[in-house]
Amino acid sequence: MEKNIILEAREIVKEFSIETKSQSLLAKILKEILTKSQKKKIRVIDKVNLDLRKGELLGIIGRNGSGKSTLLKILAGIYYPGEGSIKCKKEPLYLSGWGQGLQQRLSVKDNIFLLGSINGLSQRDIRKKFREIIDFAGLRDFVEAKVEHLSSGMITRLTFSIGIHCLEHKKPELLLLDEVFGAGGDLEFQRKALEKTEALIKTGITIILVTHNLDLIQKYCNRCIWLENGRIKMQGEPEKVVEDYTKSFS
Amino acid sequence: MGVKKILNNLRGIIGLSWSLTKANFKLRNEGSYLGLFWYLLYPLLMFVILFTIKGALYKNTSIEFYPAYLMLGLIVYNFITGTLSSSINLMLSNKHFIKSMNINKNSLILANVLQTTFSHVFEFFLFFVLLLITGVPLINIFFYPLVFILIFFFLIGISSIFSIIGSYIYDLKNIWTIVSGILLFVTPVAFIIQKNTSLETINQFNPLYYYITLSRELIIYSRIPSQEIIWGAIICSLVFFIIGTLIFNKFKRKLAEVV
């Protein structure tokens, strides 16, 4: 692996079984005996190669179901690759979008402590950041409210605020972002979220960014990958890739 | 991996486990009118039922300090079977984390054992009250942490195995309900096992037998347990902890797709 390359993925393949789960032991045994057919599988990622240089900001775009999030989860270590290899010099931090990981029946406060811990912060660190998280999300009057009682916009603000403040504190060297830019919050919040994100980008951190926000890709990314049916359809200058991707809809 | 990194990892796992335990504790008691009383109700009811059965069926069998004998057997049994019962669905009930975040899955195992430790502490309080009432010397209670550590490592190991199997085979929940019911009557929870019987032979392969006997000998009867019991408990803890951790670490990366 070259010195300035922080992440190297080779010939990544990922398949998922699309059969109905029948995990009763009896059902499994019967199925094995009665059916000889091969398991139905769908190939979500198909021989993807990827190099990421230190300080690079790589955007990944594509239609729904093209494999963007799956690829990111493989790189993050949430899914394992069926085939291929991944070499990663730095431990990646993965953040995904709307309401992920929130416990609906717990309060806003409890969720901040829980998600903060999952993202690697100690209880003391979370206590230090707590007020900032609440204020940024604009949820000062809802600290003890259960998440199930919040509006979808509030949930977006809370998720983003927890995520971005954890990032600020942990200062990871490799960041994998999956639609985390506050879409769903009001305009004021989206502006704040963008400012925070810009500040993060300017720190020189290496980022892979999965988003449908093409303006964001063109504005910040050094390189862009267009994923279609699990394969890299095109990669290169963000302007060019975004242009061709947009044309594909017409 | 350096010692510093290992310690940092361990600190991370413990910190996250603590947060998960607190969250689960709140979720479990949410909206409950009787709250912590529920933790005491089940062992109390079981105690009354088994105490009555013993009185009716085994009038001639004398067991010294029987109320304490029964209660200690029950709370150790409950601790182990309760933890294993909740570990079966552990990965499924946390799939929203497993599928969407890079959560340390070992923390889920530790959090589950810590959560049932809460219940165990409440149940142990019942045992303490019983010792006071029945006049059993209290001083030996300080030996319990030694037994607890052995049970704790055993539970981490076997919970890891159960959580993996439970993620693949949903039937394990039903199988375990039957097995744990059988274990209540195979293990000397409420009765004494006679020497040279088939039940004694069976219990040589039953980890619960070692932990229950070890705790009773130390706490109630102020005796040093036999070598067989001491080594049996230590070996069960070590073997299950090592095998469980190895199995869990091998299969945990596939969990996001299985649950």
Q: Report the distance separating Cα B230 and Cα B223, nearest Å.
A: 12
Q: A63 pLDDT exceeds 60?
A: yes
Q: What is the predicted pLDDT for the residue at A23?
A: 59
Mean pLDDT of A202-214: 90
Euclidean distance between CA atoms A58 and A92, whole angstroms? 14
- Paired tokens of A189: 């919040």
Interface of A with B in 1-20 (CB under 8 A): 16
Q: What is the CA radius of gyration of chain B?
A: 19
Answer whether A24 sits within 8 Å of B171, measured CB to CB: yes
DSSP code for B100: T
Q: Which chain B residue has the Cα nearest residue A98? A: B100
Which residues from A are below 8 Å from B19, CB to CB? 113-114, 116-118, 123
A33 in reach of chain B (CB within 8 A): no
Q: Domain coordinates of chain A in residue numbers?
A: 1-91+172-250, 101-170
Put simply, the answer to whether A28 touches B254 (Cβ < 8 Å) is no
In whole angstroms, how far apart are CA B128 and each of A236, B137, B179, B239? 71, 10, 29, 31
* DSSP conformational letter for B220: I
Q: Which of B99, B101, B174, B250 to mutate: most A Cβ within 10 Å?
A: B101
CB pair distance less than 8 Å for A78 and B19: no
Percent with pLDDT over 90 in chain B? 68
Whether ipTM tops 0.85, in short, is no
Report residue B216 as tokens.
């009773």
Tokens of B79: 């601790």
Tokens of A44: 């979500």
For the segment(s) A1-91+172-250, the CATH number from 3.40.1190.10, 3.65.10.10, 3.40.50.720, 3.40.50.300 is 3.40.50.300
* Minimum CA–CA partner of B12 in chain A: A120
pLDDT on residue A37: 58
Across the interface, of B27, B30, B256, the residue whose CB is closest to A79 is B256
- The verdict on B101 touching A (C-beta cutoff 8 Å) is yes
Could you read off the pLDDT of A23-36 as tens digits, one per residue?
576 777 777 777 66
Q: What one-character DSSP code corresponds to residue A151?
A: -
B23 and A78: CB-CB below 8 Å? Answer: no
Q: How far is A73 from chain B (nearest CA, A)?
A: 8
B200 shares contact with chain A (CB less than 8 Å): no
CB contact under 8 Å between A24 and B100, yes or no, is no
Taking contacts as CB-CB distances below 8 angstroms, the residues of chain A near B102 are 76-78, 92-94
Taking contacts as CB-CB distances below 8 angstroms, the residues of chain A near B11 are 122
Q: Is the pLDDT of residue B51 over 80?
A: yes
Q: Angle at CA B185, nearest 5°, toward B179 and B188?
A: 120
CATH level 3 topology of A101-170: Helicase, Ruva Protein; domain 3 (1.10.8)
Residue B4 to chain A, least CA–CA distance (Å): 16
A25 to B99: CB separation less than 8 angstroms, yes or no: no
Distance, CA of B171 to CA of B177 (rounded, Å): 10
Tell me the angle at which helices B66-88 and B144-168 cross, rounded to the nearest 10 degrees. Answer: 30
Contact yes or no for A78 and B170 at CB 8 A: no
Q: How confident is the model at residue A96 (pLDDT cuts 50, 70, 90)?
A: confident
Across the range A153-181, mean pLDDT stands at 87
Q: What is the mean pLDDT of chain B?
A: 92
Q: Range with the lowest mean pLDDT among A120-124, B31-35, B101-105? A: B31-35
Q: Lay out the sheet containing A41-53: strands in order across.
A: A41-53, A5-17, A83-88
Task: Pick A77's closest partner by Cβ from B100, B102, B172.
Answer: B102
A114 touches chain B (CB under 8 A): yes
Which of A197-201, A226-230, B215-219, B228-232 shows the lowest per-residue confidence on average (mean pLDDT)? A197-201
For residue A87, list its beta bridge partners: A8
- Checking if the pLDDT of A119 tops 70, the result is yes
B23 neighbors A114 (Cβ within 8 angstroms): yes
Q: In which band, very low, low, confident or very high, does the pLDDT at B245 lie, cut at 50, 70 and 90? A: very high
Mean pLDDT of B52-74: 85
Nearest CB among A24, A100, A116 relative to B170 is that of: A24
Nearest to A103 among B15, B23, B170 (CB): B23
Q: Are A176 and A72 in contact (CB under 8 A)?
A: yes
The pLDDT tens digits for A3-56 are: 789 999 999 999 988 766 555 767 777 777 776 656 678 999 999 999 999 999
Q: Which of residues 76-95 of A touch B (CB under 8 A)?
A: 76-80, 92-94
> What's the pLDDT score for residue B81?
97
pLDDT computed for residue A19 by the predictor = 67
Interface check B18 vs A, CB under 8 A: yes
Task: Please indicate whether the domains covering A1-91+172-250 and A101-170 agree at the CATH topology level.
Answer: no
Residue B92, chain A, CB below 8 Å: the answer is no
- Give the Cα separation of B121 and A187 in Å (integer): 50
pLDDT band, residue B50 (cuts 50/70/90): very high
Neighboring chain B residues of A123 at a CB cutoff of 8 Å: 15, 18-19
SS3 string, B150-204, reads HHHHHHHHHHHHHHHHHHHCCCHHHHHHHHHHHHHHHCCCCCCCCCCCHHHHHHC
How many Cβ pairs within 8 Å bridge chains A and B? 75
Rounded CA Rg of chain A: 20
Among chain A residues, the shortest Cα distance to B175 is held by A25
Whether residue A100 lies within 8 A of chain B, CB to CB, comes out as yes
| SS3 label, residue A140 | helix
Beta carbons of B62 and B31 less than 8 angstroms apart: no
